[in-house]
Structures are given as C-alpha cells and as structure tokens.
Amino acid sequence: MTRTVVVTRPGAAGQRLVEDLCQAGQPALWLPAFEFGPAPDEPAARAVLADVAAFDLAIVVSPQAARATAVLLATPWPEGTAIAAVGAGTRAAVIAAIAGAAGARLLAPPDDGDMRRSGSESLWPLLQELRPSPRRVLLLRAQAGRDWLAERLQEQGATVVPLAVYSRLPFVPDDRVRARLDAAVVAGLASVISSSDAVDALVRMVDGQPPVLRALRSGPALASHPRIAEKLRAAGFGGAMLCVPEAAAVLAALRGGGG
C-alpha cells in the first residue's frame, strides 16, 4: 500500500502539486494551511498603494502578495520605487501581475536551488547593498507575518509600513476530507509543508483526529526551508527533511525515505 501525501501549500500552487502527484500515481490530498481572502481593509490598502511612489522600496513576501497588490493598484508601478521579492517564484509573480513592475528596480535572491539560502535571510544582503539605503519601506503581506526583515530594516533607521493586501483565513476540512484522512492512516501519511505557520495550522486541523496526527508525525514531513524543518521537529514530526515543493522532488524524497 502507498502512503498518501498531504499538501499544505495554499492556492493554485498547492492544487497543482496535488494534481501532479496524482498523475504520477502518488496518492495526494490538498489540505491547505489557510485560504486566501481579500485585504482586511481594502479602502485603506488602496489609499496606501495610491501613494506608493512615496516609498523607496516595497517588499513583496509571496506570489499571492504580488497578485493581491496588482488587484488593488489603480495605476502602473512607479519607476522610482524599488521592489524586493523574497524568492524566484515571488519575483516571477511580480513581473507577471503588477503593471509597470518591469520598469522598476527589482531585487530577488538568486534561484540557485539551495533551500538554505531562500526567503528573508537571503534577501537581506541584497537590501543592505542598496544605495542610498531605503528610508521608507512598504511591506506587502497578509494581515500578519514574519517580522524579521522589518526588524533588520528598522535597526538601520528605515521606517517600515506593513500593509495587508490580502488575508489568510483558516481552512476547515469537510467531512469528506476528514474521512479520506482517516482511511489513509492504514497505509501511512506524508506531508509537504509550505511555511512555518503551516505546521501549527496542520496540527490544529487534525487535532481532533489523533490517529491522523500520529501518522503525520511518524511519516516523512517535507519542508521547503530549514526553518520549517526545525519547527516540524519541535512539533514532533520526526521525519522532517528538506525538499523542493515540486512533484519530482517529492517523489524522490518519498522513495529515499521509504515512502
């Protein structure tokens, strides 16, 4: 029997990963850590973005942040406001979604395949090299998020304005999904974890199904960043390992881990 892979990545990227795994013959179930919703205060978000030219730099934390920003922008992106993307996927989403972004200075960490050099920590050296140093920074994200980059910028004297351009809403599995999880316990479970927040979200979602939680904790837990792997281990997921959230890489990791 083949274990089922639980994919926590939200949005279209998570659904696509599940489809790719299933097409390859690997049972998979989409259990997003959260769902995307509109900006919590859409008029306020539009008002800030209408004056985005007043900022030296805007940091886009995810592909969803790029797409949500594009929906709220009334005019093309100003050339004088640099854009920083936390990864290659976010950079691609910025270029594809935000009108005028291609004409602005765009910073993103190199996509060298090393997951240890992804995210905020890899973007920070690029921001330190900016001249002149940005004084007003707009942080485009959900209603809450990791503050590490904002703290580093503030230490250097920048004013950082967080702006929620979309919301993250808890995903509530229906009875059909819960039944599939219960049935999959027999063959075992694995998980693909998309963020540190997804670890807590996954545990909360299956807390009422102790056999499911035990199966997840005892199976392979594939993390896209070392920080996520550390959080998984702290939450009792003994099989945490690094893995790019792509079907081929997930299948190879499962084979290597006995999945």
Task: Report the CATH number that the domain containing residue 73 is assigned in CATH.
Answer: 3.40.50.10090
Q: Do 94 and 129 fall within a single domain?
A: yes
Tell me, what's the pLDDT at 147? 83
pTM passes above 0.75: yes
Tell me, what's the pLDDT at 48? 97
Give the Cα separation of 67 and 46 in Å (integer): 14
Q: Do 139 and 248 fall within a single domain?
A: no
Tell me, what's the pLDDT at 53? 96
Q: Could you tell me the residue range of the domain that residue 97 belongs to?
A: 37-168
**Residue 132 preceded by cis peptide, ω within 30:** yes
Q: How many domains does the chain have?
A: 2
Q: Do 140 and 221 fall within a single domain?
A: no
pLDDT tens figures, 110-127: 765 555 555 787 888 989
Task: Spell out, as residue ranges, where the chain has pLDDT lower than 70.
Answer: 1, 111-118, 257-259
Q: Do 161 and 192 fall within a single domain?
A: no
Q: Do 145 and 193 fall within a single domain?
A: no
Q: Do 176 and 187 fall within a single domain?
A: yes
Strand ranges of the sheet holding 159-164, from the earlier edge strand across to the other edge? 106-107, 82-85, 57-60, 136-141, 159-164
Tell me, what's the pLDDT at 89? 84
Distance between the two ends of the chain, CA-based, in angstroms? Answer: 10
Strand partners, 4: 189
Q: Do 148 and 53 fall within a single domain?
A: yes
Neighbours of 217 (CB within 10 A): 18
Closest CA to 233 of 217, 213, 210: 217
